Chain A
Amino acid sequence: MDRTKIDLWVGVFVALGVVALLGLAMKVGNLTSGKIGETYSVTAAFENVGSLKPHAPVKSAGVAVGRVDSIAFNSKTYEAVVTIKIDKRYSFPKDTFANIYTAGLLGEQYVGLEAGGDEEALKNGDKIAKTQDAVVLEKMISQFLFSKASETDKDVKSSSQNTSEVKPAETKSTELGDAPF
């Protein structure tokens, strides 16, 4: 075998490998979507973040607009502080609502933003005031059972307050959680 021919083939081989790696990184992996150009970060406090992880997507109306940067625990308020980075191209009103949703029935969790009506926009370092916690399945089931029990035993009035608090989260999560599918 001629040396130049071998060189050519090995060159083709290595080039194919590089193309495949780039393909994996860009098309299959999250390398491109992980690098959103310029961002600004805002924080949001949640009572429970469920299994939300750093790098989880931040979506608004189903479109990825940013990423979760970090999740910390505030030992004063006993809340989880989630820092999210949002693409500079998108601005959100001050009273934007931050929810933690689940993609699909058992999918990964992401942060959903629902725009409010405020004139002023969120700036770097701002805190989102209105948040909705992640749905914890066990909690949901126990509350469901509790509410069932309270339906049969109508004397217990205080429980109705409890259920009304949970219900919107329940309905929302099924409706929006299934949306990407």
Chain B
Amino acid sequence: MTKSNPLVSIIKTLQGIGHRMVERIWRLGAGARLFFLTIVYSGESFKRFHLTMREIYSTGVMSLLIIIVSAFFVGMVLALQGYNTLQKYGSSEAIGVLVSLSLVRELGPVVTALLFAGRAGTAITAEIGLMKTTEQLSAMEMMAVNPIARVVAPRFWAGVISMPILATLFSMVGILGGYIVAVPLIGVDEGAFWSQMQANVDFQSDIVNGIIKSLVFGVACTMIALFEGFDAPPTAEGVSRATTRTVVISSLTVLGFDFVLTSFMMVI
């Protein structure tokens, strides 16, 4: 055997890159197409809103516990760490501002979206992947029922509705957690805690922007979970890989979008 020509191996590497690139772009296009179809067929599913209600129950309500518990702990840790640093500068009353701003602007939407991807996103992917594997989607199509209108759209809207609610709850519960650490435990003045917070947190630019962020994350996370489920190869392995991909892609997308959105909001 002669040694392989370096030119050949370079060409092969380039081919590999090209192939992966094409595949990524193809998947992106397929995802966009599914998104578009979901919007188009949303009308049908809105007529029977109880389907969406059911999905809000399984994505939103079922995620409540994990969101509330983690928010509480995140808020408490923030207060502890914040106090540690702030007291060095003699401004430990600013702890309320620190906790509330970091929760409302960043941690609320982002951590909620990450938890949502892990809790609800994977459930959506696995459910739809299994429905595909067991021919349930095929059966639906053969019954002249559009699976996008019946299965995808209600889950999509449930995710989009649930995410801002969960993120708002996360921020509020986190602030309460921070309050419990700061005021009764550390002994920061209660009045200063709240009044400084109120003086520095703007409804428009902080709270509303945070909710806008979580709405965008809701669309992204739910759509990724739905697409991965819809696109999963109909095997057990395929579904499990798709579930993993949902978490990975959702997390990266959320963090990337967060940066883009934050910089946009700073400019405006």
On A, residues with C-beta under 8 Å from B are 1, 3, 6-7, 9-10, 12-14, 16-17, 19-21, 23-25, 27-34, 55, 57, 64, 103-105, 108, 180-181
Contact = CB atoms under 8 A, between A and B. Distances in A.
Given A1-B54, A7-B53, A13-B60, A25 B169 contact: no
A181 B91 contact: yes
Nearest to A64: B199
A139 B207 CA distance: 36
A9 B57 contact: yes
25 contacts: A1-B57, A3-B53, A9-B57, A10-B56, A12-B61, A13-B64, A13-B162, A13-B165, A16-B169, A17-B165, A17-B168, A20-B171, A24-B104, A24-B207, A25-B203, A25-B207, A27-B197, A28-B104, A30-B202, A34-B203, A64-B199, A104-B94, A105-B91, A180-B192, A181-B192
A103 B164 CA distance: 33
B53 A6 contact: yes
Contacts of A16: 64, 165, 169
Query: How large, as a class, is the contact surface on chain B?
Result: 35 or more
A28 B61 contact: no
B201 interface: yes
A3 B56 CA distance: 12
Contacts of A25: 203, 207
Given A10-B53, A181-B90, A29 B168 contact: no
Interface of B: 50, 53-54, 56-57, 60-61, 64, 89-91, 93-94, 100, 104, 162, 164-166, 168-169, 171-173, 175, 192, 194, 196-203, 206-207, 211
A75 B150 CA distance: 64
Nearest to A24: B207
A27 B194 contact: yes
Given A1-B57, A10-B61, A28 B207 contact: yes
Nearest to B199: A57
A55 B91 CA distance: 23
A24 B174 CA distance: 11
Contacts of B211: 21
Given A3-B53, A20-B168, A20-B169, 11 more contacts: A3-B50, A10-B60, A10-B61, A16-B64, A21-B211, A28-B198, A29-B198, A30-B201, A57-B199, A108-B200, A181-B90
